[in-house]
Amino acid sequence: MGQVKTLGEFIVEKQADFQYSKGELTRLLSDIGIAAKIVHREVNKAGLADILGETGDVNIQGENVKKLDIYANKQFIAALSVGGECCAIASEENEEVITVDNSVSTSAKYVVALDPLDGSSNIDVNVSIGTIFSIYRRTSLSGPGTLEDFLQPGTEQVAAGYVIYGSSTMMVYTTGKGVNGFTLDPSIGEFCLSHPNMQIPKQGKIYSINEGNYVHFPDGVKKFIKYCQEEDAATGRPFSSRYIGSAVADFHRNLIKGGVFLYPTTSASPKGKLRLVYECNPLAFIIEQAGGKASNGSKRIMEVTPTSLHQRMPLFIGSRDMVEKIEELLAKHSIPAAKAAK
Ligand code: AHM
Ligand code: MG
């Protein structure tokens, strides 16, 4: 076996890639790694402890909050607040931006947006869940960060990543120079580089969508589903349908094997379900760095300027050829606004 490279070693090594880097991003990523290990520990014993189950509270999205969501939220906020590199945090669990206001962080350059524990419907049933994060350089000049710091298009992301709490726990991230994956070795408590330079196949054979919503999908999406189910030797169709219902887990599988994840508009979620700032954008940054594509159906996800923190967006993300096929079918079968209004 070759030499093991830990996440800490890797991050420090890569610091040299950034001119003028003073190590702030290095510390920020390390802090996220530490919080991820703590959340991993709790997720792994969730079935044993009284931590499992719903608190009865409803979060700002109107969904029931599970206890582990709250636990994970606290851990990430604590890790990012004490590190001194982050001047504001935005979380799916908090309606407002959390400003980090202490003597160290008034000079902090970065803001972090995150979904501390995504895949809430899978927490209670021992199915993979994840954390998603996105790091921006602040646009405000000094003091605690502001809402505006988070309303930057995804193209401005400095780093983004996710942690998947699956059959093993992994952290996958990018700083805009490719994508690398680290698997947690619980025996030594370290994330170890296991998936260097991850690349998604240009054409995949998996499509991931909650097909129960079929009747509510736009026609272009319905056509794409039928396209995936047709027989065609040249493209290897029919494709496989795989849907876990945790965006991180569906994304991670498709990143490795090739495939596409779709969360279109539905009548229940007319603007899509996933959140632009801390779900769509970080995954979009990763997929592009891995050679794939992320679209809202007509536009590159990372070029959409957010107008609010918890804004939702349709998401089509994965292998390049598959996302382009969806865009083509949506363009062909969408009803022009004027005609639809009649
Ligand atoms: P959450 O933030 O409440 O966990 O919701 C996001 C999740 C994603 O992980 C997943 O892709 C999607 O919701 C599944 O939604 P659905 O149950 O409608 O298929
Ligand atoms: Mg979520």
User: Can the peptide bond before residue 238 be classed as cis, meaning omega within 30 degrees of 0?
Assistant: yes
Amino acid identity of 253?
Answer: R
For the chain, list residues with pLDDT below 50: 337-342
Max CA separation in the chain (angstroms): 67
pTM higher than 0.85, yes or no?
yes
- Confidence at residue 190, expressed as pLDDT on a 0 to 100 scale: 95
How far is the C-alpha of 83 from the C-alpha of 112, rounded, in Å? Answer: 12
Tell me how far the alpha carbon of residue 177 lies from the centroid of ligand 1, in angstroms: 29
Query: Which residue, by CA, sits nearest to atom 12 of ligand 1?
Result: 245
- Cβ of 69 below 6 Å from ligand 1: no
Tell me how far the alpha carbon of residue 60 lies from the centroid of ligand 1, in angstroms: 15
With the most atoms of ligand 1 within 8 angstroms of its CB, the residue from 118, 127, 254 to mutate is 118
- Confidence at residue 107, expressed as pLDDT on a 0 to 100 scale: 74
Query: Which residue, by CA, sits nearest to atom 15 of ligand 1?
Result: 245
223-278 per-position pLDDT tens digit: 999 999 999 999 999 999 999 999 999 999 999 999 999 999 998 889 999 999 99
- Cβ of 246 below 6 Å from ligand 1: yes
Q: What are the two backbone dihedrals, phi and then psi, of residue 163, each rounded to the nearest 5 degrees?
A: -120, 130
Tell me how far the alpha carbon of residue 125 lies from the centroid of ligand 2, in angstroms: 17
Q: Is 184 in contact with 166 (CB distance < 8 Å)?
A: no
- Confidence at residue 342, expressed as pLDDT on a 0 to 100 scale: 44
Dihedral of CA 299/300/303/304: which sign? positive
For each of the domains in the chain, give its residue range(s) and CATH number, in order of start. Answer: 7-195 (3.30.540.10), 206-334 (3.40.190.80)
How far is the C-alpha of 238 from the C-alpha of 231, rounded, in Å? Answer: 5
Query: Which residue, by CA, sits nearest to atom 4 of ligand 1?
Result: 119
- Confidence at residue 341, expressed as pLDDT on a 0 to 100 scale: 43
How far is the C-alpha of 303 from the C-alpha of 310, rounded, in Å? Answer: 17
- Confidence at residue 148, expressed as pLDDT on a 0 to 100 scale: 97
How far is the C-alpha of 272 from the C-alpha of 138, rounded, in Å? Answer: 27
Contacts with 152 (C-beta within 8 Å, 6 or more apart), sequence order: 136, 139, 305, 306
- Confidence at residue 106, expressed as pLDDT on a 0 to 100 scale: 62
How far is the C-alpha of 313 from the C-alpha of 303, rounded, in Å? Answer: 12
